[in-house]
Amino acid sequence: MQLTGGQAAAAVAVMAAVTFLTRALPFLLFDRGERPPQIVLYLGRVLPPAIIAMLIVYCLKGVTFASPVGWVPPLLAGGAAVLLHLWKSNDLLSIFGATALYMVLVQGVFG
């Protein structure tokens, strides 16, 4: 540990305050009781699928093509999540199945 307990606690407090600020700002700016501008409402509608797609790419940022272990497990497990979900529409099954497959692949097959 490089920090004293007090310094670490201060760092945690700053992280908490800044994180809350990023969440509260849209409400401070646009939540005055009147309807937010049309453009804001429009973005609120079309952003969710774009953001989820962004987060998927972000989750997969560690994929590399230098060796199979870098891309085959995420490709197979990701494909399994999508196919399982198209097939059964069961969140638990899709997530459990894909994660278990991924763990087997990175620990066993490619480990």
Shortest distance (Å) from residue 71 CB to other proteins: 13
- Residues 31-60: x/- map of binding to other proteins (CB under 8 A)? x----x--xxxxxxxxxxxxxxxxxxxxxx
Our finding on whether 15 is near other proteins (CB under 8 A) is: yes
Our finding on whether 85 is near other proteins (CB under 8 A) is: yes
Shortest distance (Å) from residue 101 CB to other proteins: 9
Q: How far apart are the first and last CA of the chain?
A: 32
Centre a 10 Å sphere on the Cβ of residue 28 and count the other Cβ atoms it contains. Answer: 9
Tell me whether residue 50 or residue 68 sits nearer to other proteins (CB atom). Answer: 50
Shortest distance (Å) from residue 39 CB to other proteins: 7
d(CA 29, CA 36): 9
**What are the residues whose beta carbons fall under 8 Å from the beta carbon of 94, sequence distance 6 or more?**
81, 84, 85, 88
69 within 8 A of 110, measured Cβ to Cβ? yes
Our finding on whether 70 is near other proteins (CB under 8 A) is: no
Our finding on whether 109 is near other proteins (CB under 8 A) is: no
